[in-house]
Structure 1
Amino acid sequence: MQGSGNDSTFPCLFMQHVTPDKIYHVTVMPCYDKKLEASRPDFFNQEQQTRDVDCVVTTGEVFKLLEEEGVSLSELEPAPLDGLYSSVSTQEPTSHRGGGSGGYLEHVFRHAARELFGIHVDEVTYRPLRNKDFQEVTLESEGRVLLHFAVAYGFRNIQNLVQKLKRGRCPYHYVEVMACPSGCLNGGGQLKAPDTSSKELLQHVERLYSMVRTEEPEDVPGVQELYRDWLHGEGSEQASCLLHTSYHAVEKASSGHSIRW
């Protein structure tokens, strides 16, 4: 699951000799839940007394802020962003392959197929099950299933998945879970267009997203620099500490409307 907590921002800025207490880290997200995630104690650095993410603003909130300032995005000239690495061009936005969920199922699937079975996968084919938000991806060889992945978007599909897990009837090696139907492009914090339907807007956003140039995460020059110059290699203790986190249960007040998963 994508997180608004642990990321490579602090290592990048350490490379520029900037300490966390001198940074105010703002992220723009399509999801209100990222605000709750960023506030979790898991993402608070006791030693530095700083948070991994200081402020989360949704895309809809950014649009409202621009409206209040009388700024129209359509009238602005595009400008390049300053990169954290000298070798990284920020003239063109890039993404990884995997649709609008922001997840890494396709990347993990290709990597596992190559590393575990020596099979190169060009295109990942999804097979819808109950609906378009619950789909499977399989890798087969000589009639045998080698990899069995799935995506489950929306609470109804997630609930069905959890019930399968509880009954020991979940056949998947890897599941990508997103709370919003259709993934993050349909996040609750996304800006709304009053002159069109939500379905039409989502389709338009998906078309635009599909036009963004994609590249494999390990091929991004900044990622390579990060591992080489600061993390001391892919399997280092530094990489394990800074690029991974743990989630702990947050006690919630009982409610008559709560769902038993």
Structure 2
Amino acid sequence: MSDKFSPALRLADLNDFIAPSQDCIVSLKTVKSKHGKAESQEKARYISQPSQTEAVKISLKDCLACSGCITSAETIMLEKQSLDEFLAHIKSGDTVIVSISPQSRASLAAYIDISPSQVLRKLTTFFKSLGVKAVYDTSCSRDLSLIESCNEFISRYQQQCGENLPILSSACPGWICYAEKTLGSYILPYISSVKSPQQTIGAIIKHHIVQKLGLNRPDNVYHVTVMPCYDKKLEAARDEFSFSVDEGENGHANSVMKIPEVDSVLTSGEVLDLIQSKSVDFKALKEAPLDSMLSNVDDGGHLYGVSGGSGGFAETVFRHAAKKLFGVEIQGPLEFRNIRNSDFREVALEVDGKTVLKFAQCYGFRNLQNIVRKIKIGRCDYHFVEVMACPSGCLNGGGQIKPKNGQSAKDLIQLLETLYMQDVEVADPFDNPIVKRLYDEWLGQPGSEKARKYLHTEYHPLVKSTASQLQNW
């Protein structure tokens, strides 16, 4: 499984890759009980070798989500987010809801050779045949995250305080993990507080939709997302993305239950494994109507959403800021300019000969280091940076289905970029009727107290962990 985690983060050798059996970059010190101090230092490997020293365990708080190893603690957590666990909850009669990312449907479309919209409708048929209650499209929650991101940017820009900019996007858990554990407090204030689309749809379902479905409590729902990235499993397991419910009313005095917004994450590859394990002819499956309560589908059954295989954060916020702040309405595609390579691009808006907005897309840790260094020395002139850990962004996530025999990774990425918006109409998130309804019924308005409570979070440096002992950084 380690070959599907995000790229290794070793700064001494910043080559972006996704590969199995890499050395763990966390310094592990074993302790002999007789002397009570470290006697040796070893690196954990994905395939462990016999050793006379005591086993060292690393918790998820110590993990950097690199491609190095799967520890026993991680294995326990990942087992709780496995296909077996998913099927067990269906079998037990729980109300199971599945939310599917557009990157995952593109990955399955490329592998099965059908359109992404067909994938979504056939997955709806497939999951409901297993006993799933509802299947949603996370393009809807992404629109909500985008609106909150636009509001956040306008607020920070208007403060005219250089310490608040640039805003660094927060939808990538691999990047967030790296920032918290290695960059410390100097970079965290720049990171957007807006939750990722995965956690946003988790909040919508557990805090709002449960009532609309006639369920009294959020723990009555088992929510599963289908994502392009194994790091999303780590994101779903974060303490910040769970909430407490008092069980006293059910006869358990002083009993509090912790409920995650997202109970389990399955990758695109795991869903393919599930389909194959059931010996299903996926192409022959009937196409079910989409659940429109939280899916970007219009009355005619057509999908809609924003362009951009990694969520379209830079493009959407740029367009909104240009119109809101400077009265410039941008028509047609944005003209991003490659800076170092295709994974580091920028776009700027000039008004009266002066650059008033400058945004960037920064994918892969090699490119990210340039942004981080500029921020650290106060020389970053970007206002917003869309950050993704994986080269080529989310379409190249570690949980995506791998290239077929004879197909190069580059060819697959190009195919995914083409498929991603196939049969999808480009639409402004602010015009999304589902999002408007969520604000009217639940949140009030963008940036409101309720919106900040349910759709925003905070990130903190993790200093008391094994990560503080890293070598070669």
TM-score (norm 2): 0.52
> Between the two proteins, what is the percent identity of the paired residues?
47
Q: What is the SS of the residue equivalent to 2:222? A: coil
SS in 2 for 1:108: helix
Matches within 5 A, 1:63-102: 63-84=272-293, 89=298, 91-97=301-307, 99-102=308-311
- Bigger proportion of residues as helix: 2
Q: 1:5 pairs with 199, 202, 213, which one?
A: 199
Listed as ranges, the gaps of 5+ residues in structure 1 are none
Per the alignment, do residues 71 and 193 of structure 1 end up closer, same or farther by CA in structure 2, a change over 3 Å counting? farther
Cα RMSD after superposing both structures: 2.2
Q: Confirm or deny: 8 A CA contact 2:298 2:304 kept in the other structure.
A: no
Whole-Å separation in 1 of the counterparts to 2:399 and 2:238: 19
Map 1:88-127; keep pairs closer than 5 Å. 89=298, 91-97=301-307, 99-122=308-331, 123-127=333-337
Once residues 173 and 124 of structure 1 are traced to their aligned partners in structure 2, the CA distance between those partners, rounded to angstroms, is 16
Please tell me whether the aligned partners of residues 42 and 248 of structure 1 are also in contact (alpha carbons under 8 angstroms).
no
Asked whether 1:185 is paired with 2:395, we answer: yes
1:200 to 385, 404, 411: 411
Structure 2 unaligned regions, length at least 5? 1-169, 172-195, 246-256
Which of 351, 357, 369 aligns to 1:147? It is 357
Call closer, same or farther: CA 1:229–1:126 in 2, change over 3 Å: same
Q: Quick one: which amino acid aligns to residue 234 of structure 1?
A: P
Q: Which residue does the alignment assign to 2:122?
A: none
**Would the alpha carbon gap of residues 173 and 71 (structure 1) be closer, same or farther in structure 2, given more than 3 Å must change?**
same
Task: Tell me the distance in 2 between the aligned counterparts of 1:87 and 1:255.
Answer: 43
Shift of the alpha carbon at 1:201?
Answer: 1.3
**Where does residue 348 of structure 2 map in the other structure?**
138
Amino acid at match of 2:390: C
Q: Cα–Cα, structure 1 residues 63 and 255, in superposed 2: closer, same or farther, change >3 Å?
A: farther
Deviation of the 1:255 alpha carbon: 8.1
Contact 2:362 2:388 in 1 (8 A): yes
Instruction: Kindly provide the CA deviation profile for residues 53-89 of structure 1, in whole angstroms up to 9, marking residues without a partner as x.
Output: 0000000111111111112322222222223269964
Counterpart of 1:247 in structure 2 is 459
- From 199, 216, 219, give the equivalent of 1:21: 219
Contact 1:6–1:245 (CA under 8 A) maintained in structure 2: no
Alignment of 1:50-65 (within 5 A): 50-65=259-274
Report deviation, 1:228.
0.6
| 1:258 shift after superposition | 5.3
Q: Cα gap change, 1:17/1:247 in structure 2, threshold over 3 Å: closer, same or farther?
A: farther
- Code of the aligned partner of 1:112: A
Count how many residue pairs are aligned between Structure 1 and Structure 2.
Answer: 259
Q: Aligned-pair distance for 1:132?
A: 0.6
The one-letter code of the counterpart of 1:239 is A
Distance between the aligned counterparts of 1:160 and 1:85, measured in 2?
Answer: 38
